[in-house]
């Protein structure tokens, strides 16, 4: 049987900040259609790893492949065009623009392929895409609000709406439930499960209940390395994981 090309693969990827090795020689594989959780204590290198995947950071060593293509040298914006979409850990919406305009910025991007699109863009189609994305996350009623005036939970799902409007192949969610209330977490989980039907999801998450509910597989990082990988049940039972993370 021919080996299936993973959607995403890193080979020996490393990142040093001065004397500190935040990520050290990580080999990471993600198959198409997965919902993968990335867990680990603070400072384990999770955000650095997804930074290397999304192109926000340049690796000190190692390579990144996306759908079989070496993207190590591609800048972040080109990776976003390929479909690697990152939502920020700290909400990073355009605070002074309206909710609708935030999503339109994302929604117009996939439609701007050729130079002529800049002049003759189908504004109605873009607006429709934006509306669809907003409706999907439940923000349709707030479209004319200033994004900075939204409640924190709404800003987080606005981030998700922007990501969806880009039409991602791989959606990276960096601690999406952080700072949300119980019912907000529940509806966000429902949304992620809905997204997972069509998109591969990589999820950094501290909330184990969320991880157990959503993730098909879990990868555990500690001190810049992957220390375990498996189903949520296996991970829960893994002694090293309990020592490094769950029993903190």
Partner 1 sequence: MRGGDRGRVLGLHLAVVGLLAGLQLLLPPFHHGMLARIMILAAYAVGYNVLLGYTGLMSLGHAMFFAAGMYGTGLTIHHLGFGIGAGFLAGAVAGLAAAGLVGLMTLRTTGPAFLIVTMMLAQAFYLATLYWNDFTGGDQGFILAGLQGELAGVRFALADPAVKYNVALGVFAACLLASLWITRSPLGRVLVAVRENEERTRLLGYNTHRYRLIAVLLSGLVAGVAGAAYTLLFSYVGSTFAGILYSIYPLLWTLLGGAGTVLGPLVGTLVMTYVVDITSGFTTGYLLVVGVALVVMILWAPAGIVGGIRARWAPWLP
Binding site for partner 1 (CB under 8 A): 54, 56, 75-78, 80-81, 85-86, 88, 92-97, 101, 104-106, 108-109, 112, 117-119, 121, 126, 162, 166
Q: Residue 6's Cα: distance from chain center in Å?
A: 17
In the structure encoding, which two tokens stand for residue 188, read together? 């966000």
Q: Beta-strand (E) ranges in 31-180?
A: 35-39, 61-66, 69-70, 84-87, 170-174
The CB-of-9 to partner 1 minimum distance in angstroms stands at 21
Nearer to partner 1, 106 or 142 (CB): 106
Nearer to partner 1, 129 or 229 (CB): 129
Query: Kindly report the CA angle at 220 between 216 and 224, in degrees rounded to 5?
Result: 145
Sign of CA dihedral 229, 235, 240, 244: positive
Distance between CA atoms of 128 and 153, rounded to whole angstroms? 24
125-140 burial: b if 16+ Cβ within 10 Å, else e: ebeebbbebbebbebe
Nearer to partner 1, 122 or 234 (CB): 122
The CB-of-92 to partner 1 minimum distance in angstroms stands at 5
The CB-of-149 to partner 1 minimum distance in angstroms stands at 13
Query: Which among 111, 113, 144, 143 has a CA at the least distance from the CA of 126?
Result: 111
Nearer to partner 1, 157 or 185 (CB): 157
Nearer to partner 1, 80 or 180 (CB): 80
The CB-of-105 to partner 1 minimum distance in angstroms stands at 5
The CB-of-47 to partner 1 minimum distance in angstroms stands at 14
Neighbours of 93 (CB within 10 A): 21
Nearer to partner 1, 4 or 119 (CB): 119
Distance between CA atoms of 111 and 150, rounded to whole angstroms? 28
The CB-of-121 to partner 1 minimum distance in angstroms stands at 5
């Amino acid at each position: 049987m021919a080996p299936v090309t993973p959607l995403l693969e890193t080979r020996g990827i490393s990142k040093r900040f001065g004397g500190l090795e935040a990520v050290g020689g990580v080999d990471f594989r993600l198959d198409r259609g997965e919902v993968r959780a990335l867990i680990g204590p603070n400072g384990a290198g999770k955000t650095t790893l997804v930074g290397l995947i999304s192109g926000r950071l340049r690796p000190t060593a190692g390579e990144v492949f996306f759908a079989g293509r070496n993207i190590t040298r591609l800048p972040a914006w080109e990776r976003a065009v390929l479909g690697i979409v990152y939502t920020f850990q700290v909400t990073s919406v355009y605070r002074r623009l309206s909710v609708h305009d935030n999503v339109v910025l994302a929604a117009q991007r996939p439609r701007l392929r050729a130079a002529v699109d800049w002049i003759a863009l189908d504004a109605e189609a873009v607006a429709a895409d934006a509306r669809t994305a907003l409706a999907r996350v439940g923000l349709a009623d707030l479209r004319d609000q200033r994004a900075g005036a939204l409640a924190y939970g709404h800003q987080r799902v606005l981030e998700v709406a922007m990501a969806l409007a880009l039409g991602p192949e791989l959606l990276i969610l960096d601690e999406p439930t952080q700072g949300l209330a119980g019912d907000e977490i529940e509806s966000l989980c429902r949304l992620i499960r809905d997204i997972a039907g069509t998109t591969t999801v990589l999820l950094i998450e501290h909330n184990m209940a969320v991880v157990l509910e959503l993730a098909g597989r879990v990868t555990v990082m500690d001190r810049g390395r992957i220390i375990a990988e498996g189903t949520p049940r296996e991970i829960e039972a893994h002694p090293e994981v309990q020592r490094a993370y769950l029993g903190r």
